[in-house]
Amino acid sequence: MQLTLTGKQTEIGEALRQHVENTLGSILDKYFKTAIEAHVVVSKEAYRSRAEISIHIGRGIVVNARAAASEAYAAFDAGAERLAKQLRRYKRRLRDHHAKARESAAALGERVTDYVLAPIGDEGEAEGEEPEMDGANGAPAVIAEMSTELPMLTVGEAAMRMDLAEASVLLFRNRSHGELNLVYRRTDGNIGWIDPELDPARRTRRSAS
Which is nearest to 183 in space by CA: 202, 207, 204, 155? 155
- Last residue within a domain, chosen from 56, 80, 103: 103
Measure CA of the first residue to CA of the last residue in the chain; give whole Å: 53
Q: Residue 7 maps to which CATH number?
A: 3.30.160.100
Domain residues for 19? 2-103
Q: Are residues 149 and 98 in the same domain?
A: no
- Last residue within a domain, chosen from 72, 103, 134: 103
Kindly tell me if the per-residue pLDDT of 191 is higher than 50.
yes
Model pLDDT, residue 149: 78
Model pLDDT, residue 127: 52
- Band the pLDDT of 122: cuts 50, 70, 90: low
Q: Tell me the pTM.
A: 0.71
Q: Are residues 62 and 93 in the same domain?
A: yes
Neighbours of 54 (CB within 10 A): 18
- Last residue within a domain, chosen from 103, 122, 139: 103
Number of domains in the chain: 2
The conformational region for residue 76 under phi > 0 = left, psi -120 to 50 = alpha, else beta, is alpha
Confirm if 169 and 184 have CB atoms less than 8 A apart.
yes
Model pLDDT, residue 83: 94
Distance CA 52, CA 41 (A): 5
